[in-house]
Structures are given as structure tokens and as C-alpha cells.
Amino acid sequence: MQIEFEQRGKYLLIQPKGRLDASWSEHFTDTILRQIREGKHHLVIDASEMDFLSSAGIRALLMVYKELSIVQGSFAVSNPTAFVEQTLSTSGFQMWLKKGLPEDLPAAGVGGETDAAENSGIQSFVLNENARLSAAEPADWRPWEVVEKERVQMLTFSKNICALGIGSAAGTFEEARDHFGEFLAAAGNVVYQPPDEQAPPDYLIAEKQFLPRMQCVQALSCKGEMAHLLRFAPTKAIPFYTASALLKHILDQIEGKPAGFVVLGEIEGLVGTALIRSPGRIRENRDMTFPEVRDWLTFCGERSYSHQQALITGIVSRAGATRLPSMPSAPDVATHMHGAVFPYQPLPNGKIDLEIAIAKFFNGPPPLAVMHLTDDDRPAVGLGESALVRGACWFGALENPEVLS
Amino acid sequence: MLKVESISKTFHANTVNEVRALHDVCLTIEDGSFTGIIGTNGSGKSTLLNAVAGTFMPDAGSIHLAGHNITGWPEYKRASLVGRVFQDPFAGTAPDMSIAENVAIAMKRGQHRSLQFAVTRTFRDDVADRVRTLKMGLEDRLDNPIGTLSGGQRQALTLLMATWTRPKLLLLDEHTAALDPKSAAKVAELTKIIIEREKLTALMVTHSMQQAVELPDRIIMMHRGTIVEDYQQERKQRVRVPDLMATFDRVQKRELFDESVAGMLEVQYC
Amino acid sequence: MSLIIGAFTMGLILSLLSLGMFISFRMIRFTDITVDGSITLGASISAVMIVQGYSPWLAVSVSILGGALAGAITGILYTRFKIQEILSGILMMTALYSINLRVMGKSNIPLLDVTTISTGMEGILAKMTGSASKVDILGWQVPVGDLAVFATSGIIAILIACILCAFLFTHAGTALRAAGSNPQMVRAQGVNNKTMIVFGLSMANGLVALAGSLLAQYQGFADVQMGIGMMVWGLASIIIGEALVGKTSIGLTLTGVILGTILFRLLIAIALRWGLNPNDLKLVTALFVFAALVAPAWIGKMSKKVKGGFLHAES
């Protein structure tokens, strides 16, 4: 089987030539899914040279169709041969069949330039000009202080809060003491990494009356609605976006004011660290030095989780404007952000809703990791910063940045 | 019971090629348990096995097996207690000699070798019976030189020889690594059958996570000459290949977490 | 005819050398150069003892022990002191040169009109033939003395070959063979392969010394130089033997080694008869061994029969 692609406007015209049967279906599915991953969400299959379609082939088409429905794309089988037409219509998939090519399909040759401009690079959307976002730091543990019961806060994460910090889902301080680890919260969902290298992350989802609650030793939160959305996708010149590049875009759009943000995107590589021992076990205030620090923190050691999907929440400001630490790679940008890793799922293009987009990940396969993202600027051996390939970034200026100073 | 107490071994000490192959390794293996050792290349897993087998003398520490202090015993003397299968299918048998003669040599392991004829009629029948359990059709080829057999057949025979006189400890050194996938599966299956049937105490080095999960009832992971993980009982039953991979990953992460990382985090972790 | 009987006798005596070397070179795979010294040791011990009036059988026994001791020392140099195998042999061989001179007191001892181990056989033959000095065999007149030596050597060679063959099939013998074939395997099976090397070398050199003892008695003298080149002769014999019968079974190979030695001596006798300068003999033998080692690689068909451990692997 030979598969040819042609970008025509927003459509990707696919011409499979030959038999789509069991021996080719896997190759076909992989090839097409890769295209969807690259942001091609409107597919037209020109089946004029598809000689044969077996049930395995139908299954391949169905998988493509399902993937496209997730991203609100479109799917059509045009100009089918008699055999393909009969097979699809008798097996109940006549809704895919189209007599000819879509009417708004540009002529051949004028090509994908228009589409490329639309779906690559940076796109900015204003979601709600009047949206407000207020910051808070309800718990303010600093490494490596003793965790005091009075300073631990039970926080509830409703749908209008995005947050990051260190905490535990246990009900009381005594139960939580040995289980404080990195967490992040967004749109009523919390994902939390127990301080145990062998344990997978746990997660809590707001449902009906239930709202996730955490005992927090450290928390930074933003309450309210995100005013802006940034969509980013690779171009020939920019194969991926580093964290600092994205944060600079945020700051540029809101005149350098401190902001809260949530990012959902395909990972190029994450760099970060996570607790492997609960701060609740610290017996006295102290500096943690090498090698002892290795018993408390784990470092990723390499750019990790490439091609998975990251959910990142954080707060950004110009360096000096808050007491957030500045990024070594971009000394004028200061941030604190946590990232969670989920198995890859495609995101729809365009203006998408934060709550709906995130809910898909929490209702899908379980998260793989949560970490405190760092910028590894060590000379020669440094891993650099975390970077994303494509995705969405919701953000809004903080109306009360003074709580962070 | 095998009891390895704080053994250390450095090869090429005080030269540029110095390798700390084993560093203060302690290990106790109960009778009747089947333990697998996994680890990266150069982690010391084969070195540990060879230390038990007596291929070299450790720099420090002691090894006790079945109530004997075997630390100073030479390799051939330990053979009275230990059966071995090597990675190289050519290592465990004498290629010019017949199947029956090879088994005869194994039969006398740890015993006096007399001037009686090695391969008698009754012994041949005995060999045929046991070789038949391998289901490889070798029972009809007892007088053929072992050199004419395939790697898998030789490895199966070596396994049979190593367990002919029930050893106190069976050492398997990546014994399926050099075989084609089908033979490897067959030899792995035989290993499990024989160890279970004879209720042997066994120590197996393997490079295959899958094999480590499927065969033994305990997994030890080594890294840089030390034991970094020990999956026993319930933990072993629960462990799967991805868990082992994750553990490797963790061990390596810890390795990469050096002083410069600590310095970087001191500024950024807050 | 006496030429043929002579060659046969010489062949039978030297087949003991070949059998000994078969153990060291083929069974435990040790390139043992001690042979050149230990064959002379056997000859010199026997010559001295026989001249001093000891029983020739006692002399033979002491010779065997002497050879065995020499072999054991080579083995210990190799296993205990970790000296390379060739060098261990060279050291022992060089030491034996002085030892042999010490034993004999001079470089040559003639054995004229003394009792040898074939004397008894001579008596038996004399009775059978009615004290005739020569026997008629197929129309050839053969001296009874020559016939006696021939018979004695034949009996000893065959007896030794049979004992050796039986031994190699015992538990101890299989362990010895395996030690040469795969040292790692025998260690894992509880055999001290170092002991096996020492034991094997001592057995091999015992047989070589036996050959030396018989050779001295047959030739009628012991000479400190007599061992030079013996190793290569033995090697040539083993190669010819293996080419004759192949290496399918031990019994057959041992027979082949004996036949090979005899054939080799016949070839030499014929060559000398045709006018080969005896001084060139060792050169010719060396060339022959060279050809026998290298030819199989050129002539593919031969390789299966003569392939052995004498060529080191190409790296």
C-alpha cells in the first residue's frame, strides 16, 4: 500500500493506493495518527484507488475517525471505488462516504500554506477581557524547615482555582505528615505525587458534591477566570517552545504583569525534581547538602517524557517583581511551576476550553509523574529547560501580585 | 543456605583499570529459594556469581554454604556443593566426549573418581531415562560427541549435568543469553521444571527482565557492585517488567544526581 | 628383512614415546617439550643400572618413575608457578640435560653383553628354535636376538596401549580427557584440572622414559644427545597415525598411533637405505611435520582427518 498526502487548505487529502487489509491496517493507522498529532484535523480520504477494504481496514478507519472526533476534526471518504462503497455502506459507515471532494477544498497546488499559517506558530485569543485572577499563598513552607502543624492548611480546590504546591490528600495532619509531595491543581482536578519513588501519582477529580481537598505545607494558588489563551505549534524555524519562551509570550501580552497560567501540551522534554521523602519527616530547620539531599529529592537526570502530554500550572513574573526565583536561561523571568505528565491524547485546534480540555486527561489513562520544573543551567552537562512541542496555554494577570512579594 | 557476608572485590587494584566489582555485598539465600540477579553491564552480577563459584578469591568477606565456610575453597572443591551452567553453551561440556561420558563426569562431582569404567550398561540406561525428560531426542545419541549438538541441546544437557547429583546450590550464569529465542525459551522452561522438581536452591544471573519476572521467586538488582533492590515474596509476586525498568531508571537517576545538581536545586527548589 | 624387523622394533619402542606424547599433546593438550629430556633420562637411568648389574626390569621401573617425576615437575612449573607451557618444558628439558650427564657420569654409556629385558625372551625363543642363532622367516634369516627384542617391544607396546585405552574409559580417565578438552567444565564438575595436568604429564613422560629405556637396551648404548628431535618424531608419528585411522574412537586412535610410529620408522629406514644423509634426517622430519600441519588447510579434504591442536588459532 502506498499512501500519499496533500495539504489543501485546512484539509489533508490522503490517497491510499492498493489494499487496506490486515497486513496494511497497522501501518495505515500509525501513519494517519501521526498526521493528526501534527495538527492535521480535517482529513479527506480519496478512496478512488483503494482496491480492497477488509474488516481490519474498517477498524483502522474507525480508529482514525475516533481520534478525529476527540479533536473535533472532520473525516470523509471520497470517490470510493464500488467495492469500498459497498463494504462501508453495508457495514454501517455510510456517513463517511462522500460522492466528491468537499466543496471548500482548494484546487491542487495552492497547497497547505494557508493552513500552515493557521495551525502553526503562535496564535493568541482573548477569552474574556473582564476576567480576573487573584493570587494567594495559603501555605508557605520553605526547604528545609520543620513542618509545623499550625502552618499546614487544608485547602479545597474548586473549579475556578489553579494551584501548585506540596501537600497530601490525607485527612489529618498526623496521617499526612509522612506523605507530603508535589501537587498541582487545575479546574477542580488535583494530581499529586506521593514522596515515594516507586509510587505512581495519585489524582482527585471534582465530581458532583465532591471537591478535592489537600493538606498543604506549601501552596501558590490563582482563583478566578483565565483571560487569555495562547496556542502554540511548531514551525520550520521553531521546532518546540521552551518554558521561558512561553512565559515571555505571556508577559508580553499582559504588559509584564505577574500572571497565573495553565499549560497543556505535547512534551519535547521535561526537566524537574520531586520529593522522595516527606518534608514532614524533617526534625530540625537546616540546609540540605549533597549527598544527603539525594535522600529527599530525585532529579530527572535526562530530558524526560518526550511525546507525552504535560499539564503545567504556575505563576510567572518579571524578575524582582515577586520573590519567585528567576530562570537562569531567562534571567528577567521569574517563575514557580509544577508539571504533571499524562499519556498522550490529541488536543483540538483553536480556541478550546480549559475545563473540558483538562477533564479529558483526568478521565483518561492515569498520570505518569508530577514534578517541580527546574531550569538545569549547569555548564556542559545541564539538561536545559523543559520544552513543549505544541499545545495550549491559558493565563491571566494577577490582580493582587503583592501577596507574592 | 548460602550466606554471603560483606564480600568485596577490586580487579586491577591500583592501576588505571581499577574496577570495584563488588563492594561490601551481603546476601542470604534460604534453602529451596530460586533467586534471580539482574543489573546493568558491569554491575557486578556475574562477579557475585563467580565469587560464589570460586572463580576468584574475594578481597574481603566470607561465603558460607550449607554449613561450610567455603571462602577459601578453590573452584573445583566448591563443585562438590555447587552445580553450574555457563552463558557459553560450549563452556559446560567437553565437546570431544560423548553425552554419556560427559554425564559420567558430572555424576562423580564431589566424589572420588575411581578406576572403574565410567559408562556401564546400567549407567547408560539411567542416562537415557533422564535425558529423555529433556524431550530433545538425545536419548538415542548418547554415544555421539557433544560437539555435534546444538547450543540449546548442550545447554539443556549442562543443566541436567549440573543437577544430576542434587547440588546444595545451582548457579546459572545468563545461561540462555547465547541461545536463539526458541532454544532460550526451552532451556528456561527446563530450568523451572528441574528446579521445582528437585526443590533446588538456585541463583541465576539474567539479562532478561522477562525471565527475572517469570522464573525465580526472588529478584536482586545490582548496580556498581552493590545490591540496590531486593524483591522478595509478595513484592516479587507483584513486580512486573516495567517496575524493574523503573527501578533501573531510579538507580541511574540517583547516580546522575551529583553535587552540581544539588547546587542547581539549592537555588531553584523553593 | 633385518632392515624391516629393525624398523618394526624401533617403531614399537618409539610407539611408547608416541603414546606418551598422545596423552600430553592430545588428551591434556599440553605442548610438552620435556620429552626430549625425559627419553634420555629413561635411557641413562636404565643404562647405568643395567651396567651396574641391576635387574633390567628394575632399571625399566626406575626409568619410568624418573620420567614421571620429570613430567610432574614440568606440570608443577606450569600450574603452580604459572610459567608458560612451552617454557616449563624447555626449563625441565634443559635441566634434564645436566641431570642425565650426572646420572651417566659421561656423555655415553655402551651396553655390551649385558642382560636386558629381552634376554628372557631370547631364552624362550632359543628353546623354541633349538638354540639356532638365526630363524628362518619367510625365507629370510633373522637373528634370534633381534626377534626377541621385537617380540618383547611388541608385547610391552600392546600391553601399554591396552592399559592406557582402558584407563581412558574409567572415571579417572574421562576426567583426564575432559580436563584437556574443557578445563572450565571439569573445574565446575569438581575436578582439579591442575592436578590433572601434573598427573597427565607425569604419565606421559613415564611412558617416554620407558621408550628411552627400551631404546637404550635395543641400541646398546645411552647417549646424552639421543633425545634431540624426539618430540618432533613423536609428533610426526601421531599425525601419520591419525591420518591412517582418523580420530573416531580412542581405541582406534591408539592403534593408529602405534601403526603410525612403525610406518614412520619404515619410511625413515627406506629413506636411509636410498641414501638419505642421516644428518639430514631431522630436517626432513621437521619438513614432514610442517607439511602435515599445513597441508590439511590447503587440501580441504584432508583437514577432517588430521586436524589437531598443533596450529594455534588465527587471531
Report pLDDT digits (tens) over A13-47: 999 999 999 999 999 999 999 999 888 899 999 99
pLDDT score, position C310: 56
Per-residue pLDDT of chain C (315 residues; tens, 9 = 90+): 677 888 899 999 999 999 999 999 999 999 999 999 999 999 999 999 999 999 999 999 999 999 999 999 999 999 999 999 999 999 999 999 999 999 999 989 998 888 888 888 888 888 887 777 777 777 777 788 888 889 999 999 999 999 999 999 999 999 999 999 999 999 999 999 999 999 999 999 999 999 999 999 999 999 999 999 899 889 989 988 888 887 778 899 999 999 999 999 998 888 888 888 888 888 888 888 888 777 766 765 544 444 455 555 443
* Axis crossing angle, helix C144-168 with helix C2-21, rounded to the nearest 10: 20
For residues B256 and A261, what is the distance between their CA atoms, to the nearest angstrom?
31
The per-residue pLDDT of chain B, averaged, comes to 92
- Exposed (0-12), middle (13-18) or buried (19+): which is B251, by Cβ within 10 Å? buried
Q: Residue A41: which region, alpha, beta or left (left: phi > 0; alpha: psi -120 to 50)? A: alpha
Q: pLDDT tens digit string along A62-80?
A: 999 999 998 888 999 999 9
pLDDT score, position B82: 95
Q: Residue C29: which region, alpha, beta or left (left: phi > 0; alpha: psi -120 to 50)? A: left
**Residue A234: phi, psi to the nearest 5?**
-70, 150
Q: Is the Cβ pair B94, C186 closer than 8 Å?
A: yes
- In the structure grid, which three cell numbers stand for residue C80, read together? 603452580
Reply yes or no on whether the pLDDT at A178 is more than 50: yes
Instruction: Give the amino acid at A293.
Output: V
- In the structure grid, which three cell numbers stand for residue A243, read together? 518554558
Secondary structure (H, E, C), C16-48: HHHHHHHHHHHHCCCCCCCHHHHHHHHHHHHHH
Residues from chain B that touch C181, judged by Cβ atoms under 8 A, are 94-97
Residues from chain B that touch C249, judged by Cβ atoms under 8 A, are none
pLDDT score, position C118: 83
Q: pLDDT tens digit string along B132-166?
A: 989 888 999 999 999 999 999 999 999 999 999 89
CA distance B176 to chain C (A): 17
| Residues 6 or more apart whose Cβ sits within 8 Å of residue C130 | none
- Exposed (0-12), middle (13-18) or buried (19+): which is C143, by Cβ within 10 Å? middle
pTM exceeds 0.90 for this model: no
Q: Which of A130, A133, A73, A163 is nearest to A352 (CA)?
A: A73
Q: Residue C263 to residues C237, C260, C274: CA-CA distances in angstroms?
A: 8, 5, 16
For residues C205 and C221, what is the distance between their CA atoms, to the nearest angstrom?
20
pLDDT score, position C130: 75
Q: Is the Cβ pair B97, C172 closer than 8 Å?
A: no
For residue B4, the cross-strand partners are B27, B63
pLDDT score, position B269: 83
CA distance C239 to chain B (A): 18
With touching defined as 3+ CB pairs under 8 A, do chains C and A touch? no
- Exposed (0-12), middle (13-18) or buried (19+): which is B115, by Cβ within 10 Å? exposed
Beta-strand relationship, A309-318 and A259-269? antiparallel
Total CB pairs under 8 A between chain A and B: 62
Three-class DSSP category at B251 = helix
Q: Is residue A192 within 8 Å of residue A168, measured between CB atoms?
A: yes
Of the partner residues B92, B101, B119, the one whose CB lies closest to the CB of residue C188: B92
For residues A325 and A331, what is the distance between their CA atoms, to the nearest angstrom?
9
Q: Is the Cβ pair A374, B246 closer than 8 Å?
A: no
Reply yes or no on whether the pLDDT at A159 is more than 70: yes
Q: What is the mean pLDDT of residues B18-25?
A: 91
DSSP C314: P
Percentage of chain B surpassing pLDDT 90? 75
Residues from chain C that touch B102, judged by Cβ atoms under 8 A, are 178
Q: Judge whether B147 is closer than 8 Å to chain C, CB to CB.
A: no
pLDDT score, position C313: 46
- In the structure grid, which three cell numbers stand for residue B180, read together? 536463539
Q: Which of residues B269 and C81 earns the better pLDDT score?
A: C81
Reply yes or no on whether the pLDDT at A109 is more than 70: no
pLDDT score, position A13: 92
Residues from chain C that touch B114, judged by Cβ atoms under 8 A, are 170-172
Closest residue in B to C191 (Cα–Cα): B76
CA distance A72 to chain B (A): 34
* Axis crossing angle, helix C281-298 with helix C250-273, rounded to the nearest 10: 130
Q: In which residue are the cell numbers 459497498 written?
A: A86
Q: Which long-range contacts (CB under 8 A, 24 or more apart) does B20-23 make?
A: B20/B224, B20/B225, B21/B47, B21/B225, B22/B47, B22/B48, B22/B51, B22/B58, B22/B225, B23/B224, B23/B225, B23/B226
- In the structure grid, which three cell numbers stand for residue C235, read together? 609428533
CA distance A142 to chain B (A): 6
Binding-face residues of A in 237-296 toward B, CB within 8 A: 273, 289-291, 293-294
CA distance C199 to chain B (A): 14
pLDDT score, position C303: 47
- DSSP H helices, chain B, are 45-53, 75-78, 99-107, 121-132, 151-162, 181-198, 209-214, 233-238, 241-256, 259-268
- In the structure grid, which three cell numbers stand for residue B225, read together? 557492585
pLDDT score, position C314: 43
Q: Residue A181: which region, alpha, beta or left (left: phi > 0; alpha: psi -120 to 50)? A: beta
Q: In which residue are the cell numbers 596401549 written?
A: C161
Give the strands of the sheet with B60-65, arranged side by side: B19-29, B2-11, B60-65, B68-69
Three-class DSSP category at B215 = coil
**Residue C253: phi, psi to the nearest 5?**
-65, -40
* Axis crossing angle, helix C230-245 with helix C2-21, rounded to the nearest 10: 90
Instruction: Give the amino acid at C299.
Output: I
Q: Residue B96 to residues B144, B218, C180: CA-CA distances in angstroms?
A: 9, 38, 10
For residues A239 and A217, what is the distance between their CA atoms, to the nearest angstrom?
38
Reply yes or no on whether the pLDDT at A114 is more than 50: no
Residues from chain B that touch C186, judged by Cβ atoms under 8 A, are 76, 94, 105
Q: Residue C124 to residues C121, C131, C144, C146, C213: CA-CA distances in angstroms?
A: 5, 10, 10, 13, 22
**Residue A262: phi, psi to the nearest 5?**
-135, 130
Q: Which of C4, C12, C30 is nearest to C257 (CA)?
A: C12
For residues C113 and A34, what is the distance between their CA atoms, to the nearest angstrom?
103
Secondary structure (H, E, C), chain A: CEEEEEEECCEEEEEEEEEECHHHHHHHHHHHHHHHHCCCCEEEEEHHHEEEECHHHHHHHHHHHHHHHHCCCEEEEECCCHHHHHHHHHCCCHHHEECCCCCCCCCCCCCCHHHHHHHCEEEEEECCCCCCEEEEEEEECCCCCCCCHHHCEEEECCCCEEEEEEEECCCCHHHHHHHCEEEEEECCEEEECCCCCCCCCEEEECECCECCEEEEEEEEEEEECCCEEEEEECCCCCCCEEHHHHHHHHHHHCCCCCEEEEEEEEEEEECEEEECCCHHHCCCCCCCCCCHHHHCEEECCCCECCCCEEEEEEEEEECCCCCCCEECCEEEEEEEEEEEEECCCCCCCCCCCHHHHHHHHHCCCCCCEEEEECCECCCCCCCECCEEEEEEEEEEEECCHHHHC
- In the structure grid, which three cell numbers stand for residue B258, read together? 551529583
Reply yes or no on whether the pLDDT at A339 is more than 70: yes
Least confident of A358-372, B115-129, C242-256: C242-256
Q: Is residue A307 within 8 Å of residue A396, measured between CB atoms?
A: no
- In the structure grid, which three cell numbers stand for residue C253, read together? 586412535
pLDDT score, position A246: 95
Q: Judge whether A302 is closer than 8 Å to chain B, CB to CB.
A: yes
For residues A218 and A185, what is the distance between their CA atoms, to the nearest angstrom?
13
Reply yes or no on whether the pLDDT at B236 is more than 80: yes
Q: What is the mean pLDDT of residues B34-46?
A: 92
Beta-strand relationship, A97-98 and A74-78? parallel
Q: Judge whether B229 is closer than 8 Å to chain C, CB to CB.
A: no
Beta-strand relationship, A153-156 and A213-224? antiparallel
pLDDT score, position C105: 93
Q: Is residue C24 within 8 Å of residue C30, measured between CB atoms?
A: yes
Q: Which of A344, A365, A392 is nearest to A233 (CA)?
A: A392
